Structure 1
C-alpha cells in the first residue's frame, strides 16, 4: 500500500503545478516512477519503458480536461488540430514503437537532455518571434510527425514543442497554448497505444497488472490525485506567488535532470 500512497502524492503534486503553470507533468512523473519501479524490483531493462508508457497514459486524462477548458475560452484552432493530427498520430506511435527497441540507458539520456531543455525554456520564459506562416498539409504532417515522435520518447503532451512551433508560424500565443493542449490528446492516445502494443509484443516478465508498458495501479492513482489538485493550482495562476512557484518547479526539474545524469555516469 505504501507505493499507492506515493503514487497519490506524486499525482497531487504534478496536478497542482499542471494547473498553476499550464504544463504537463511528464517531466516530473517519469523520474519518480523510475525510482519507484526500481524500488519495487521491476525488470531493470524495462523500467524506463514502463515509466514512459504509464506517464503517457496519464496524459490522456489530463489533456481532455485541459483542452475542454481552452475550448470553452475559444482558444483552440481546430483547423490546425485537424491538419497536424495525422502526422502527430503517425509520429507518436512510431516513436513509442521505436522506444521499445532502444536501451534504457539511451532513453534515459534522451530524457535528461530534454528535461534540461524544458527547465531552461521555463527559466528564460522563451517565446520565439513569428517568422513563418503555417505550412501546407505536407508541412503540417512533417511537423506533427517530428513533434509526436519526440513527445513519445520523453512522455510529454507536446506543449513544450508545439507551442514554440505555432508561435514561429504566427499563431497568437493564447491560441498556440490552447491548440497545443488539444494536440496533446492525439499524442497521448497514439503514444499510449504504441507503448501498450510494444509491451505486449516484446515485454517479458512484466509486473502483474501491467498492460504492455502501462502499469495500471500507478496510472489510476496518478490520474485520480492530479484531477483533484489541478483546479487548486489553476486558481493560483494569477497570484503574485506564481513566479516563486515557477522558480521552485524549474529548480526541481534541474535537480531531477542532474540526478538522472549522475545515475547514467
Structure 2
C-alpha cells in the first residue's frame, strides 16, 4: 500500500510545488506521518524521520519547479544570490535544532505550523509596494529566518518566502518562481543536517541515512519532479484565489488530524 501512496503523493505534491512555489512539504509531512506510523517507525524518531525525508523529497520537486519557472522568466536570480547563503546556514541550523526537540513536541509544532499556514493561504495580504525594494540587508536576514524555520519544519519555505518576496514588490508569479528556487538550498542543507544528526540513532528503519528514509524520499521525489511542471503551467494560466482557498482548507484538515493523533 505504501508504494502506491508514494506515487500518489509524489504526483500531487509535485503539482502543488509548481503551482505555489512551496516545495510540497505541507502535503508531504502529514502523509508521511500516516505512512511511517503504518510502517511501525518508533514514536521517538517518527517526527524526525518525517521531516528529514520531506526535505529530501523537496530537493527533487524544487529543482524541477525552478527549471520550469525559469523558462517562463519567473525567477529573480539576483535576489536568490543575496538570500542563498543565509538560507543555507539557517536551514542547516534548523535541521540541527529539530534533532534536539522531542518527537511529540515536534509533531505538535508541525501541526501548529500547518494551521498557521492554512490561515495565511485563506486571507489576502495587504497590497505590496508598487516598486521592488532594493536594500540587501533585509533579504539576507529574512533568508536566515526562512531557512531556519524550513529546516525545523521540514518544508521548502514557500509558505514564508512567497509572501515575503511578494511584499518586496515582486509580481506573484515571480514571487512563486523565486520561492521555488529558494527551496533547493533549503532542502539540500536541511536534509544533510537531518542525515548527520540521526546517524547515531539506534532505532532507524532499514534503508535510512540518519533521519532520511530513502525509499519514500526517492519514489516521492522522482514523481514530484515529473509533475511539478504541470503545476507551473497551471500557475501561469489561471487565477489562483479559489484554488488557494480550497488548498488551505485541505491543509487545515491535515493539521487537525495531526493534533488529534
TM norm structure 1: 0.88
Mapping of residues 71-110 of structure 1, within 5 Å: 71-110=70-109
CA distances 1:152-192 after superposition (whole Å, capped 9, x unpaired): 11122112111222223233333322221211111111111
User: What SS does the aligned partner of 2:99 have?
Assistant: helix
Mapping of residues 1-265 of structure 1, within 5 Å: 2-126=1-125, 129-130=128-129, 133-137=133-137, 139-200=138-199, 202-237=200-235, 238=237, 245-263=243-261
Aligned residue pairs total 259
Give the superposition deviation at 1:75: 2.1
Cα distance change of structure 1 residues 248 and 108 upon mapping to structure 2, 3 Å threshold: same
Could you tell me which runs of 5 or more consecutive residues in structure 2 were left unpaired when the two chains were aligned: none
CA distance in 1, matches of 2:71, 2:126: 24
Cα distance change of structure 1 residues 89 and 128 upon mapping to structure 2, 3 Å threshold: farther
CA distance in 2, matches of 1:26, 1:119: 13
Cα distance change of structure 1 residues 128 and 59 upon mapping to structure 2, 3 Å threshold: farther
Cα distance change of structure 1 residues 203 and 125 upon mapping to structure 2, 3 Å threshold: farther
User: What SS does the aligned partner of 2:260 have?
Assistant: helix
CA distance in 2, matches of 1:128, 1:245: 20
What is the RMSD of the two structures over their aligned residues, measured on CA atoms? Answer: 2.3
* Contact 2:94–2:147 (CA under 8 A) maintained in structure 1: yes
TM norm structure 2: 0.89
Could you tell me which runs of 5 or more consecutive residues in structure 1 were left unpaired when the two chains were aligned: none
Cα distance change of structure 1 residues 181 and 20 upon mapping to structure 2, 3 Å threshold: closer
